[in-house]
Protein backbone atom coordinates (compact mmCIF):
# COMPACT_ATOMS: atom_id res chain seq x y z
CA UNK A 1 0.00 0.00 0.00
CA UNK A 2 1.21 3.47 -0.94
CA UNK A 3 1.67 5.51 2.23
CA UNK A 4 0.73 8.85 0.66
CA UNK A 5 -2.68 10.33 1.34
CA UNK A 6 -4.10 12.75 -1.21
CA UNK A 7 -6.85 15.30 -0.69
CA UNK A 8 -8.85 15.81 -3.90
CA UNK A 9 -10.82 19.07 -4.01
CA UNK A 10 -13.05 19.23 -7.07
CA UNK A 11 -16.75 20.05 -7.46
CA UNK A 12 -16.98 18.53 -10.94
CA UNK A 13 -17.88 14.88 -10.25
CA UNK A 14 -16.50 13.34 -13.50
CA UNK A 15 -13.11 15.04 -12.98
CA UNK A 16 -13.11 14.07 -9.31
CA UNK A 17 -13.88 10.46 -10.22
CA UNK A 18 -11.10 10.40 -12.82
CA UNK A 19 -8.63 11.54 -10.17
CA UNK A 20 -9.80 9.21 -7.41
CA UNK A 21 -9.97 6.21 -9.77
CA UNK A 22 -6.39 6.91 -10.86
CA UNK A 23 -5.26 7.24 -7.26
CA UNK A 24 -7.04 4.03 -6.28
CA UNK A 25 -5.45 2.12 -9.18
CA UNK A 26 -2.01 3.26 -8.02
CA UNK A 27 -2.61 2.43 -4.36
CA UNK A 28 -2.79 5.98 -3.03
CA UNK A 29 -5.05 6.77 -0.13
CA UNK A 30 -7.39 9.69 -0.72
CA UNK A 31 -10.11 11.86 0.75
CA UNK A 32 -12.34 14.18 -1.26
CA UNK A 33 -14.01 17.56 -0.91
CA UNK A 34 -16.50 19.22 -3.27
CA UNK A 35 -16.24 22.78 -1.93
CA UNK A 36 -13.82 25.15 -0.24
CA UNK A 37 -15.13 24.86 3.32
CA UNK A 38 -15.01 21.07 3.14
CA UNK A 39 -11.47 21.28 1.67
CA UNK A 40 -10.19 23.39 4.57
CA UNK A 41 -11.85 21.04 7.06
CA UNK A 42 -10.39 17.92 5.39
CA UNK A 43 -6.94 19.53 5.12
CA UNK A 44 -6.88 20.17 8.86
CA UNK A 45 -8.44 16.91 10.07
CA UNK A 46 -7.11 14.29 7.61
CA UNK A 47 -3.52 15.51 7.43
CA UNK A 48 -3.04 14.80 3.69
CA UNK A 49 0.44 14.64 2.12
CA UNK A 50 -0.60 16.35 -1.10
CA UNK A 51 -3.66 18.38 -2.14
CA UNK A 52 -5.17 18.55 -5.64
CA UNK A 53 -7.19 21.75 -5.63
CA UNK A 54 -9.61 22.91 -8.30
CA UNK A 55 -9.55 26.71 -8.46
CA UNK A 56 -13.20 27.11 -9.49
CA UNK A 57 -15.22 26.01 -6.47
CA UNK A 58 -18.90 26.74 -5.80
CA UNK A 59 -18.57 28.41 -2.37
CA UNK A 60 -15.21 30.21 -2.54
CA UNK A 61 -12.23 30.88 -4.76
CA UNK A 62 -9.55 28.17 -4.69
CA UNK A 63 -7.02 30.98 -4.05
CA UNK A 64 -8.79 31.61 -0.72
CA UNK A 65 -8.42 27.92 0.15
CA UNK A 66 -4.65 28.16 -0.48
CA UNK A 67 -4.40 31.27 1.74
CA UNK A 68 -6.26 29.54 4.55
CA UNK A 69 -4.20 26.32 4.36
CA UNK A 70 -0.93 28.29 4.15
CA UNK A 71 -1.75 29.99 7.48
CA UNK A 72 -0.75 26.76 9.20
CA UNK A 73 0.64 24.23 6.72
CA UNK A 74 3.21 23.84 3.94
CA UNK A 75 1.58 20.71 2.54
CA UNK A 76 2.18 20.54 -1.24
CA UNK A 77 -0.76 21.95 -3.20
CA UNK A 78 -1.26 21.19 -6.90
CA UNK A 79 -3.90 23.48 -8.38
CA UNK A 80 -6.21 22.36 -11.16
CA UNK A 81 -7.32 25.10 -13.51
CA UNK A 82 -9.05 25.53 -16.83
CA UNK A 83 -6.87 26.71 -19.71
CA UNK A 84 -8.58 30.10 -19.66
CA UNK A 85 -7.57 30.74 -16.03
CA UNK A 86 -3.88 31.43 -16.66
CA UNK A 87 -3.79 34.44 -14.37
CA UNK A 88 -5.53 32.52 -11.58
CA UNK A 89 -2.95 29.77 -11.92
CA UNK A 90 -0.09 32.26 -11.56
CA UNK A 91 -1.80 33.95 -8.62
CA UNK A 92 -2.26 30.52 -7.00
CA UNK A 93 1.48 29.80 -7.36
CA UNK A 94 2.30 33.21 -5.89
CA UNK A 95 -0.04 32.46 -2.98
CA UNK A 96 1.97 29.35 -2.20
CA UNK A 97 0.72 26.56 -4.47
CA UNK A 98 3.53 24.22 -5.58
CA UNK A 99 2.41 23.11 -9.02
CA UNK A 100 -0.55 23.11 -11.40
CA UNK A 101 -2.45 20.88 -13.78
CA UNK A 102 -4.39 22.37 -16.67
CA UNK A 103 -7.72 20.86 -17.67
CA UNK A 104 -8.07 18.66 -19.59
CA UNK A 105 -5.15 16.62 -18.25
CA UNK A 106 -4.15 12.99 -18.74
CA UNK A 107 -3.81 10.33 -16.09
CA UNK A 108 -0.07 10.18 -16.88
CA UNK A 109 0.30 13.93 -16.23
CA UNK A 110 -1.54 13.59 -12.93
CA UNK A 111 0.75 10.78 -11.78
CA UNK A 112 3.88 12.58 -12.96
CA UNK A 113 2.96 15.69 -10.93
CA UNK A 114 2.33 13.50 -7.93
CA UNK A 115 5.76 11.87 -8.26
CA UNK A 116 7.42 15.31 -8.37
CA UNK A 117 5.61 16.21 -5.12
CA UNK A 118 6.67 12.93 -3.50
CA UNK A 119 10.30 13.70 -4.33
CA UNK A 120 9.80 17.21 -2.97
CA UNK A 121 8.34 15.77 0.25
CA UNK A 122 11.23 13.34 0.75
CA UNK A 123 13.68 16.17 0.06
CA UNK A 124 11.98 18.40 2.65
CA UNK A 125 12.02 15.53 5.15
CA UNK A 126 15.74 14.86 4.62
CA UNK A 127 16.50 18.60 4.93
CA UNK A 128 14.79 18.94 8.27
CA UNK A 129 16.37 15.76 9.61
CA UNK A 130 19.88 16.72 8.48
CA UNK A 131 21.83 18.55 11.16
CA UNK A 132 23.94 20.30 8.55
CA UNK A 133 21.79 21.76 5.78
CA UNK A 134 24.38 24.25 4.48
CA UNK A 135 25.11 21.98 1.53
CA UNK A 136 22.58 21.15 -1.18
CA UNK A 137 23.02 18.20 -3.50
CA UNK A 138 20.90 17.27 -6.49
CA UNK A 139 22.22 14.82 -9.10
CA UNK A 140 25.68 16.07 -10.03
CA UNK A 141 24.99 19.55 -8.65
CA UNK A 142 26.27 20.60 -5.23
CA UNK A 143 25.89 24.02 -3.63
CA UNK A 144 27.83 25.04 -0.56
CA UNK A 145 25.76 27.95 0.81
CA UNK A 146 28.40 28.92 3.38
CA UNK A 147 31.29 29.05 0.92
CA UNK A 148 28.89 30.51 -1.71
CA UNK A 149 30.14 28.05 -4.32
CA UNK A 150 28.37 25.70 -6.70
CA UNK A 151 29.92 22.56 -8.13
CA UNK A 152 28.89 20.45 -11.10
CA UNK A 153 30.47 17.01 -11.54
CA UNK A 154 32.90 17.96 -8.77
CA UNK A 155 34.12 21.09 -10.56
CA UNK A 156 33.42 24.61 -9.38
CA UNK A 157 30.93 26.43 -11.61
CA UNK A 158 31.92 29.88 -12.80
CA UNK A 159 28.75 31.80 -12.00
CA UNK A 160 28.03 35.52 -11.91
CA UNK A 161 26.47 36.77 -8.64
CA UNK A 162 22.99 36.89 -10.23
CA UNK A 163 23.32 33.40 -11.70
CA UNK A 164 24.39 32.10 -8.29
CA UNK A 165 21.42 33.80 -6.58
CA UNK A 166 19.07 32.33 -9.19
CA UNK A 167 20.52 28.86 -8.78
CA UNK A 168 20.19 29.03 -4.97
CA UNK A 169 16.60 30.28 -5.15
CA UNK A 170 15.59 27.45 -7.50
CA UNK A 171 17.52 24.87 -5.44
CA UNK A 172 15.92 25.97 -2.18
CA UNK A 173 12.52 25.43 -3.80
CA UNK A 174 13.26 22.17 -5.62
CA UNK A 175 10.08 20.59 -6.97
CA UNK A 176 8.09 23.83 -6.74
CA UNK A 177 7.12 25.99 -9.73
CA UNK A 178 8.37 29.54 -9.13
CA UNK A 179 6.64 32.31 -11.07
CA UNK A 180 8.49 35.08 -12.95
CA UNK A 181 7.10 37.58 -10.43
CA UNK A 182 8.30 35.56 -7.44
CA UNK A 183 11.79 35.12 -8.89
CA UNK A 184 12.28 38.72 -10.01
CA UNK A 185 11.10 39.99 -6.63
CA UNK A 186 13.56 37.74 -4.83
CA UNK A 187 16.47 38.57 -7.14
CA UNK A 188 15.92 42.25 -7.92
CA UNK A 189 13.35 43.24 -5.30
CA UNK A 190 10.92 44.32 -8.03
CA UNK A 191 9.08 42.82 -10.92
CA UNK A 192 8.91 45.16 -13.88
CA UNK A 193 8.51 43.84 -17.36
CA UNK A 194 12.22 44.39 -18.13
CA UNK A 195 13.19 42.35 -15.05
CA UNK A 196 11.32 39.42 -16.57
CA UNK A 197 13.24 39.99 -19.82
CA UNK A 198 16.54 40.09 -17.86
CA UNK A 199 15.51 36.94 -16.01
CA UNK A 200 15.22 35.10 -19.33
CA UNK A 201 18.75 36.19 -20.27
CA UNK A 202 20.27 35.17 -16.91
CA UNK A 203 18.36 31.90 -16.97
CA UNK A 204 19.75 31.12 -20.42
CA UNK A 205 23.34 31.72 -19.33
CA UNK A 206 22.84 29.76 -16.10
CA UNK A 207 21.42 26.83 -18.04
CA UNK A 208 24.33 26.84 -20.47
CA UNK A 209 26.60 26.24 -17.46
CA UNK A 210 24.32 23.80 -15.65
CA UNK A 211 22.71 21.69 -18.35
CA UNK A 212 25.78 20.01 -19.80
CA UNK A 213 24.72 16.36 -19.55
CA UNK A 214 23.54 14.17 -22.40
CA UNK A 215 19.90 14.15 -21.29
CA UNK A 216 19.73 17.91 -20.75
CA UNK A 217 17.80 19.86 -19.66
CA UNK A 218 17.62 17.82 -16.47
CA UNK A 219 17.65 20.44 -13.75
CA UNK A 220 15.63 23.50 -14.71
CA UNK A 221 12.20 23.07 -16.26
CA UNK A 222 10.61 25.97 -18.15
CA UNK A 223 6.91 26.68 -17.69
CA UNK A 224 6.06 28.93 -20.62
CA UNK A 225 4.28 32.10 -19.49
CA UNK A 226 4.53 31.00 -15.85
CA UNK A 227 8.09 30.49 -14.58
CA UNK A 228 10.69 27.84 -13.77
CA UNK A 229 11.17 24.79 -11.57
CA UNK A 230 14.26 22.95 -10.29
CA UNK A 231 13.65 19.23 -10.71
CA UNK A 232 15.01 16.57 -8.38
CA UNK A 233 17.54 14.69 -10.49
CA UNK A 234 17.98 10.99 -9.76
CA UNK A 235 21.50 9.67 -10.12
- The residues that touch Ca ion, with contacts defined as CB under 5 A, are 11-12, 54, 56
Q: Tell me the residue ranges of DSSP E strands in the chain.
A: 5-9, 29-33, 50-54, 77-82, 99-103, 135-138, 141-144, 149-152, 155-156, 178-179, 220-223, 227-230
Distance CA 16, CA 168 (A): 37
12 or 211: CB nearest Ca ion:
12
* Angle between helical axes of 193-210 and 161-172 (0-180°, round to 10): 90
Q: Please identify the residue of the shown chain whose CB is closest to the bound Ca ion.
A: 56
Give min distance, CB of 104 to Ca ion, in A. 13
46 or 82: CB nearest Ca ion:
82
Give min distance, CB of 37 to Ca ion, in A. 15
Give min distance, CB of 54 to Ca ion, in A. 4
12 or 94: CB nearest Ca ion:
12
Percentage helix, strand, coil, to 5, in the chain?
Answer: 45, 20, 35
Burial of 5 (0-12, 13-18, 19+ CB in 10 A): middle
Distance CA 219, CA 146 (A): 22
14 or 154: CB nearest Ca ion:
14
Angle, CA of 234, 155 and 123, to the nearest 5°: 30
| Nearest alpha carbon to residue 109 among 118, 97, 100 | 100
Give min distance, CB of 11 to Ca ion, in A. 5
66 or 166: CB nearest Ca ion:
66
Give min distance, CB of 9 to Ca ion, in A. 9
15 or 168: CB nearest Ca ion:
15
Give min distance, CB of 220 to Ca ion, in A. 31
Amino acid sequence: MNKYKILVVEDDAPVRNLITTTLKTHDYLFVTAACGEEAIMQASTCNPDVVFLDLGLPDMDGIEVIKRIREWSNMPIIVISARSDDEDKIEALDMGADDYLTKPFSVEELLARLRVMQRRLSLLASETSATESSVYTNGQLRIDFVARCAYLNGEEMKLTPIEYKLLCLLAQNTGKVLTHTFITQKIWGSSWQNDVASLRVFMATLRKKLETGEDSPQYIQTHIGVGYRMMKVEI
